């Protein structure tokens, strides 16, 4: 994770588990994706619509769960992370421990570099990949 004490972008946030450090740029987007997908809609008191509804499908049969999870993840990211375009969402694992691999590009990217963020539900953590 890119941690620096000097801000070089307008998009940044506090780095998790690292005192007095921040994440910026692409690392900030990876972290935002993780926050969005690890938040169940209705659990943020100040923003009741924030998060994703994919949690309601976790215990459904795979043929019902996976397409609905992909839809809810895509809708949540389209609504809450305006800096990216979601290209695809892959869902792996078995209920209730799913891994999401989100492929995305920056909205303003000239070269259209494809990034990927991995989010684990059921032991919520996320990893960035480029």
pLDDT in tens, 21-49: 777 788 888 989 999 999 999 999 999 99
Judge whether 104 and 83 are in contact, CB under 8 Å: no
DSSP assignment of 9-54: SS-EEEPTTSTT-EEEHHHHHHHHHHHHHTSBTT--TT-TT-SBSG
The span from the CA of 5 to the CA of 2, in Å, is: 10
In angstroms, the CA 83 to CA 108 distance is 8
* CA-based torsion, 67, 115, 86, 117: positive or negative: positive
- Separation between Cα atoms, residue 47 and residue 39, nearest integer Å: 11
- Region 2-18: what's the mean pLDDT? 57
Tell me the per-residue pLDDT of 62-77, one tens digit each, with 9 for 90 and over. 889 999 999 999 999 9
Q: How far apart are CA 130 and CA 122, in angstroms?
A: 24
| pLDDT value of position 112 | 86
Specify the pLDDT at position 2.
Answer: 46
Average pLDDT, integer, range 1-6: 50
Q: Is pLDDT larger for residue 128 or for residue 32?
A: 32
pLDDT, tens only, 74-120: 999 999 999 999 999 999 987 778 899 999 999 988 888 999 999 98
Residues 6+ apart with CB under 8 A from 27: 1, 2, 128
Say if residue 8's pLDDT is above 70. Answer: no
CATH of domain 3-129: 3.10.450.40
Confidence of residue 3 (pLDDT cuts 50, 70, 90): very low
Whole-model pTM: value is 0.79
Domain boundaries, the chain: 3-129
Partners of 119 in beta bridges: 100, 126
Can you read off the two tokens belonging to residue 116? 């990927």
Across 47-66, average pLDDT: 92
């Amino acid at each position: 994770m890119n941690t620096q004490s000097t801000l070089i972008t307008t998009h940044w946030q506090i780095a998790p588990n690292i005192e007095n450090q921040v994440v910026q740029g692409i690392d900030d987007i990876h972290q935002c994706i993780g926050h969005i997908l690890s938040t169940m809609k209705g659990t943020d008191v100040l923003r009741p619509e924030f998060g994703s509804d994919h949690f309601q499908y976790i215990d459904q049969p795979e043929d019902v769960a996976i397409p609905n999870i992909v839809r809810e993840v895509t809708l949540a990211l389209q609504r809450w992370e305006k800096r990216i375009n979601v290209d695809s969402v892959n869902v792996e694992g078995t209920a209730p421990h799913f891994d999401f691999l989100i492929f995305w590009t920056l909205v303003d990217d000239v070269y259209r570099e494809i990034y990927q963020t991995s989010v684990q539900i059921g032991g919520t953590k996320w990893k960035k990949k480029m």
